[in-house]
Structure 1
Amino acid sequence: MPTSVLPSADPARREPVSTRRIVLGTAAVALVPVVLAAAGLLHPHHLTQDTAGRWITLHLLLLPVFPLLAGSLLFLLRGLRGPWVTVARVGSYLYAIFYTALDAIAGVAYGTLLANTDDPASLTRAGTAIDVVGGALGLIGSSGFLLASVATTVALASRYGTRRVATGGTILIAASVLWLGSHIYWPEGVITVLCLGLGAGLLNIAREGAPSGPAAAVS
Structure 2
Amino acid sequence: MLAWAGCLGYAAYYSGLDAVAGISAGAVAGNGVHGAVGWLFSTGDELGRAGVYALTLAALSAGSVLLRRHGVRELPGAVVVLGACWLFLDSHIFWPRGVFTMLAFAVGFGLLTVAASRWSGRLTNP
Relative to the length of structure 2, the TM-score reads 0.91
Q: Who is 2:77 aligned against? A: 168
Listed one character per residue, the Cα deviations across residues 129-168 of structure 1 (whole Å, up to 9, x for unaligned) are: 112211110110011011111111101001111x110111
The offset of 1:128, in angstroms, is 2.4
Structure 2 counterparts to residues 150-165 of structure 1, below 5 A: 150-161=60-71, 163-165=72-74
Listed one character per residue, the Cα deviations across residues 162-186 of structure 1 (whole Å, up to 9, x for unaligned) are: x110111110111111111221010
| Partner SS for 1:205 | helix
Distance in 2 separating the partners of 1:172 and 1:184: 15
1:114 matched to 2:22? The reply is no
The structure having more radius of gyration, on CA atoms, is: 1
Distance in 1 separating the partners of 2:15 and 2:48: 9
Listed one character per residue, the Cα deviations across residues 27-80 of structure 1 (whole Å, up to 9, x for unaligned) are: xxxxxxxxxxxxxxxxxxxxxxxxxxxxxxxxxxxxxxxxxxxxxxxxxxxxxx
1:87 matched to 2:8? The reply is no
> Percent identity, aligned pairs only?
34
Q: Provide runs of 4+ in structure 1 moved above 3 Å.
A: none
> Which has more helix, going by share of residues?
2
The offset of 1:211, in angstroms, is 4.4
Distance in 2 separating the partners of 1:97 and 1:139: 12
Listed one character per residue, the Cα deviations across residues 170-215 of structure 1 (whole Å, up to 9, x for unaligned) are: 1011111111122101000010011011100110001111147xxx
Q: Who is 1:201 aligned against? A: 110
| Partner SS for 1:185 | coil
Unaligned 5+ segments in structure 1 are 1-85, 213-219
Q: Is the 8 A contact 2:6 2:58 kept in 1?
A: yes
1:181 matched to 2:90? The reply is yes
Which structure would you say has the larger RCO, counting Cα contacts within 8 Å and 6 or more residues apart?
Answer: 1
Q: Who is 2:124 aligned against? A: none
Aligned length: 121
Root-mean-square deviation (Å): 1.2
Unaligned 5+ segments in structure 2 are 122-126
